[in-house]
Structure 1
Amino acid sequence: MKDEPLADDTMKELPRHISDDAADQEREGLLSGVAAERRDADTERSRLSTKKMLALAATALLLLVGVVEVGIMIKSKHQAPDPVLNLTRSNGTHEFKKTVLVVSIDGLQAGYLDRGLTPHLLDISKKGLRAKFMKPVFPTLTFPNHWALMTGLYAESHGIVANNFWDPATDSKFDYSSAPHSWNASWWFGEPMWETAGKAGLITANLMWPGPPETRTGWSPTYFIPWRDKVPLSEKHDQIMSWIDLPLDSRPQLIMAYEPSLDQAGHLAGPKSTLVNTTLAYVDRFAKSITESLAARNLTDIVDVVFLSDHGMTDTSHPTLVYMDDIIGVEGLESIEHEDGWPSMGIRFSPTVDSSKYLSILLDAAKANPEKFDVYTHDTMPQRYHFSRNPRIAPIYVVPKMGYALTTREQGDVGFSKGNHGYDNNERSMNAMFVAHGPFSAVTKVLHQQNSRSLAKRWLGNPNEGWHSTTDDTYVMDGFENVNIYNLVMKLLAIEEFAASTNGTEGFWDKYF
């Protein structure tokens, strides 16, 4: 994204909402669910081998211990969503339905959490879950990834292939910074989670999440607050809590919120800057205020909170410049009709020139300089990018390697930001962040801890596969693709039967529930 000024009050403290009230845990119906599973197992006993019986017994024991500790209802993953999950629960004074809050902190590189500047996010992760990283879709840009998070689709499937791009089908340009050139529903393919929730009869709220106010099928969030720059995080906090405090019949069960200040700081000063570190502490206090406000309302066991980001950030303060006019000549440069996808360069040559000639020149240059950039067509694009099957993707894509920047002799490095993203999504510095806290993560952590202490390791192999214990006893999930977030929210809201098709891994979250 372009460099944008930070909010004027970036350095202000956020309000504190602290409560010592412990959240109540429900334990009703637990033993009956496990007993039912045991009766089913008895009917199959004669057909099971001794090894399988041991595995089944170990599984039942793990479920019983974990469930009694955290107070959840056990049901088979093959059953339809249990109606009890949609019933209201009390926080001691009011009734609440199952609720999910998804907060995106733009540009929060996964590695930022290891700087010692985010004690609150780390504390949240110790109580809940943290992933090593979350892998963004290619290109690692803001709009493609926020729509991937919302829909569970790769860019080639959801159609937002860059922050700025040309659509040959409509002969028009998508420009993320202009509502008239980006909000039209025709740009946005796929079904965002707030549309699915609406179809399931849930109330939803959207606080400045990058995307349109309405989908191609005419669905809108129940509450929608459009993008506005320089909004203090205290104001966003208060807006979220005002939705949480609404009466039951008008209260959203899915809330999505977006915060760009860390991304803006990264572009302006670079990921290693004092400004990024200061802003990182600022958004960390925002995360703390959210969790403390939920705790003050006794909602820790009712509301699942997911803090995540869209991509990381890398230092581009001193890149090695690659001059495109030195490669294809001034004539070739002037023959480019449309250019998409900075820091990559999606090229559409004028139909009046022989584009194959320039493609050949670019391929030869890439072969001679493999450390600087790659050149792809739809046919040669790496399959792992999932970035070829859409006419909005330019027919020729020049993708710079980390540390390099595409430019021209005329442009030089004028206007270059000190930090950037958009590079190969396998690059470590492009990794996004995932931290979750609430009833889902509490259940998952207890089951994991019980697994690690039980005989199941011998009976079931390695039930903790995909987990890593750190020195402070924090359990960290393996990294995963961000297209799996949509299905997580569907599970948390118990509306999987309404879910749209996605590019996420089928059954990915089953082992964590």
Structure 2
Amino acid sequence: MVPSTSNLSSKQPAHNPKDIEVEERKRLLVDRDGYDSDDFDQPENKEERWSSRKIAITASALIGLLITGTFARTVLFGTPGRTHGSETAVLYSNGTEGFKRTVVIVSIDGLRADYLDRGLTPHLLALSKKGLRAKSMKPVFPTLTFPNHWALMTGLHAESHGIVANNFWDPASKEEFHYNRISSAWNPAWWLGEPMWETAEKAGLVTANLMWPGPPKTLTEASPTYFVPWKDKVPLGEKLDQILHWIDLPLHTRPQLIMAYEPSLDQAGHATGPYSKQVNETLVIVDRFAKDLHDSLEARNLTDIVDIVFVSDHGMTDTSHPEPVYIDDILGADGLKAIEHEDGWPSMGLRFHSNANASKLLHALVEASKANPEKFEVYTRQTMPERYHFSKHERIAPIYVVPKIGYILTTHAEGDVGMSKGNHGYDNDEVSMQAMFVAHGPFSVNAKAQYQRRSQDSRLVARAKKGWHSTSHDTFIMQPFRNVEIYNLVIKLLGISNKAAPTNGTIGFWEQYL
């Protein structure tokens, strides 16, 4: 779910909160992207018989070339790891050009962690065998697109970065944020914290943003060097071309941080559910994209220079046959009319009119929840579970009704109008809400090698204290971690940790891997 680039007036008319909820539901039901790239499998090389003389001559020539190439690389680009003024100034060679350490982070919206176990993503799994994969990555609450993409960018929980839902009311500005309206979604006043691209730009690095959800600039007027705004139904092949265009730029204009976003899997999940044929077909397509991106970097001899980090923002659960919880049965007709603002669907963040008896209405909701604990929970900012990290911001509605998996909050008048067959936004501890993490590049290879050296055996057995599991000789699965750790990973890979902004991540979390 991303901001639209359709023409919108600068001042939005007032919207009924029920209309907004139905509008958001309907916008989820979008067709998926297409991608027509072929699977470029290379044919096996045929063996040839060589004479001993040919072998000796060829070996001598190769040794000579290797010595010459190594000397030239050292003279022209310096020894890998040697700094030239600063860590970010280190130049590496792919054999023909100088490159600085580069990170490409790609978000596949709605790629549930266990989608990788369906046997439909051989290329992502191949990358994880060469690099790293997490068992899962925990999204922030609420498990929605905009709060989590900004958490990935800033390392902050929603209560800290201010994007507390895809749509919500701000009592300070008396305005509504809606993910699909440029007038709000691109207004930097909504977006708190420092995104990784701002940190990188401040450190003098070039950055590029390919449709990542968020504003084109922050309150400090910082912006990525390159910015491609959101546009729906852009084929993945075109996005790959754009990434490679940036990779192929001259050294001083080439981005060291590239962020890219792909929504087609999330759109398929909403439209047809997480177990549908369309989701599986789209999963194959995004997996092919991962292969093509890796192969393109490999063809440029960049896999030892460029780190690729694939992430998702949240998972997806089946809502094709949800059981309704009728809020009007709990609040009554007058209580329903007393709702002034409703935020955060599929949850209900409720703000009542000033003349309403909010305490009485809250009591009715709490008692109904106690009678049906398997269906929904009701929280205030004071009773919100600490693990949600979702109470310390005035944009969070004073009353939050959170449905359990398998249930929807609605009214008799609305029913399930606009309800998608797949959804997210639920408790971020739920298995179906977990996101994925796969990385490949010098970081992941070195991290794995480091743990192999520490192990008594070349295979890493399951050891919780080490944070790893081994499912085969060359597959390593990290223990689950929170997505607020991603900011510090990218900043560390870029060599600018001394410029990092404060985050909600764990201090030193990546030291065990880097």
Question: Where on the TM-score scale, by shorter chain, does this alignment land: which range?
Answer: 0.7 to 0.9
* Residue 221 of structure 1 pairs with residue 224 of structure 2: yes
Q: Distance in 2 between matches of 1:477 and 1:251?
A: 32
Shift of 1:301: 0.3
User: Which of the residues 3, 16, 31 maps onto 1:6?
Assistant: 31
Deviation at 1:84, TM superposition (A): 4.9
Deviations 1:330-380 (A, max 9, x none): 111111000000000000000011111100100100111100000000000
Amino acid at match of 1:494: G
**Which of 86, 90, 107 is residue 87 of structure 1 equivalent to?**
90
Matched residues, percent identical? Answer: 65
- The offset of 1:19, in angstroms, is 11
Would you identify which runs of 4 or more consecutive aligned residues in structure 1 move more than 4 Å? 14-20, 71-74
TM-score normalised per structure 1: 0.86
Cα distance change on mapping 1:242 and 1:4 into 2, 3 Å: farther
Corresponding residue number in structure 1 for 2:342: 339
Q: Which amino acid aligns with 2:338?
A: S
Q: What secondary structure sits across from 2:393 in the alignment? A: coil
Residues 13-92 of structure 1 aligned to structure 2 (within 5 Å): 13=37, 16=40, 73=81, 83-84=86-87, 86-92=89-95
Give the letter aligned to residue 154 of structure 2. T
One-letter amino acid matched to 1:383: E
RMSD over equivalenced CA pairs, Å: 2.5
User: Is structure 2 residue 188 aligned with structure 1 residue 185?
Assistant: yes
Q: Residue 512 of structure 2 corresponds to which residue in structure 1?
A: 511
Structure 1 residue aligned with 2:103: 100
User: Partner letter of residue 90 of structure 1?
Assistant: S
Query: In 1, are the aligned partners of 2:184 and 2:190 still within 8 Å (CA)?
Result: no
CA distance in 1, matches of 2:399, 2:87: 53
Q: Alpha carbons of 1:216 and 1:385: their partners in 2 closer, same or farther (altered >3 Å)?
A: same
Distance 1:451 1:82, change over 3 A: farther
The within-5 A match list for 1:380-459 is 380-453=383-456
Question: Residues 317 and 417 of structure 1 are in contact (CA less than 8 Å); yes or no, is this contact kept in structure 2?
Answer: yes
Secondary structure of the corresponding residue to residue 509 of structure 1: helix
Counterpart residue number, 1:77 = none
Q: Distance in 2 between matches of 1:167 and 1:14?
A: 47
- 1:83 Cα offset (Å): 3.0
State the distance in 1 between where 2:189 and 2:403 align.
30
> CA separation in 1, counterparts of 2:336 and 2:401?
13
Residues 1:469 and 2:470 aligned together: yes
d(CA) in 1 for partners of 2:442 and 2:489?
A: 13
Note if contact 1:102-1:307 (Cα within 8 Å) is conserved in structure 2. Answer: yes
- 1:209 corresponds to 2:233: no
| Structure 1 residues 429 and 414, CA gap change in structure 2 (3 angstroms) | same
Instruction: Say if 1:463 and 1:440 are closer, same or farther in 2 by CA, change over 3 A.
Output: farther
**Partner of 1:413: helix, strand, or coil?**
coil
Instruction: Indicate whether 1:272 and 2:275 are aligned.
Output: yes
Paired residues for 1:230-309 under 5 Å? 230-309=233-312
Give yes or no for contact 1:17–1:289 (8 Å, CA) kept in 2.
no
Q: Check the 8 A contact 2:29/2:420 in 1, yes or no.
A: no
Q: TM-score if structure 2 supplies the norm length?
A: 0.85
The answer as to whether partners of 1:14 and 1:286 remain within 8 angstroms in 2 is no
What runs of 5+ residues in structure 1 fail to find an aligned partner? Answer: 29-70, 75-79
What is the deviation of 1:132?
0.4
Instruction: Name the aligned partner's letter for residue 377 of structure 2.
Output: D
Taking a change above 3 Å as real, the CA distance of residues 487 and 11 of structure 1, as seen in their structure-2 partners, is closer
Letter in 2 for 1:13: S
Q: Deviations over 1:451-502 (max 9, x none)?
A: 22369x9xxxx79710000035311000000000000001100100000000
Kindly indicate whether the alpha-carbon contact (under 8 Å) linking 1:14 and 1:234 is maintained by their aligned counterparts in 2. Answer: no
Structure 1 residues 327 and 27, CA gap change in structure 2 (3 angstroms): farther
- Per the alignment, do residues 170 and 15 of structure 1 end up closer, same or farther by CA in structure 2, a change over 3 Å counting? farther
Shift in CA distance, 122/112, structure 1 to aligned 2, threshold 3 Å: same
- Which moved further from structure 2: 434-443 or 82-91? 82-91
Cα distance change of structure 1 residues 228 and 19 upon mapping to structure 2, 3 Å threshold: farther
Q: Structure 1 residues 27, 445: CA separation in 2 closer, same or farther (over 3 Å shift)?
A: farther
The 3-state SS of whatever aligns with 2:472 is coil
Q: Distance in 2 between matches of 1:252 and 1:265?
A: 31
Q: Is the 8 A contact 1:448 1:464 kept in 2?
A: no
Q: Is the Cα contact below 8 Å between 2:319 and 2:421 reproduced in 1?
A: yes
Q: 1:18 to 1:303 in 2, by over 3 A?
A: farther
Q: 1:214, 1:220 → 2: CA distance?
A: 4
In 2, the alpha carbon distance for the partners of 1:373 and 1:283 equals 34
SS for the counterpart of 1:447 is helix
